[in-house]
Amino acid sequence: MPPFSIVVAADQTSGIGLGGDLPWRLRKDMAHFLRLTSTVPRHGSQNDTAIAPAADFSTQTDHGVQRINACIMGRKTWESIPKKFRPLSGRFNVIVSHDPHYLAGEPEQLDPMVVSATSFEAALDLVQSLQASSGPAISDRPSIQIERVFLIGGSQLYSEGIESKECKYIFLTRIHATVECDAFFPEINGSEYTLLSAEEARSVLEEYTQQILETTAVEEGRYSYEYTVYRRN
Binding residues vs ligand FOL (CB under 6 A): 7-9, 22, 29-30, 33-34, 77, 80-82, 85, 88-89, 152-153, 173
CB of 80 to ligand FOL, least distance (A): 6
Give the separation between CA 126 and CA 194, rounded to whole angstroms: 29
What's the CA dihedral at 136, 139, 141, 147 to 10 degrees?
-10
Residue closest to 38 by CA, chosen among 83, 108, 92, 96: 92
94 contacts 157 by C-beta, under 8 angstroms: no
CB of 77 to ligand FOL, least distance (A): 5
- Closer residue to ligand FOL, CB minimum distance, 136 or 154: 154
- Closer residue to ligand FOL, CB minimum distance, 69 or 145: 69
CB of 191 to ligand FOL, least distance (A): 25
70 contacts 126 by C-beta, under 8 angstroms: no
Give the separation between CA 45 and CA 112, rounded to whole angstroms: 29
CB of 133 to ligand FOL, least distance (A): 27
Residue closest to 200 by CA, chosen among 229, 161, 232, 168: 229
- Closer residue to ligand FOL, CB minimum distance, 80 or 210: 80
232 contacts 164 by C-beta, under 8 angstroms: no
Whole-angstrom CA distances from 116 to 3, 122, 135, 164, 212 are 19, 9, 20, 21, 34
Residue closest to 78 by CA, chosen among 100, 91, 93: 93
CB of 194 to ligand FOL, least distance (A): 19
- Closer residue to ligand FOL, CB minimum distance, 76 or 136: 76
Polymer length in residues for the chain? 233
- Closer residue to ligand FOL, CB minimum distance, 43 or 178: 178
Hey, how many other C-beta atoms are within 10 angstroms of the C-beta on 229?
A: 23
- Closer residue to ligand FOL, CB minimum distance, 129 or 204: 204
CB of 200 to ligand FOL, least distance (A): 18
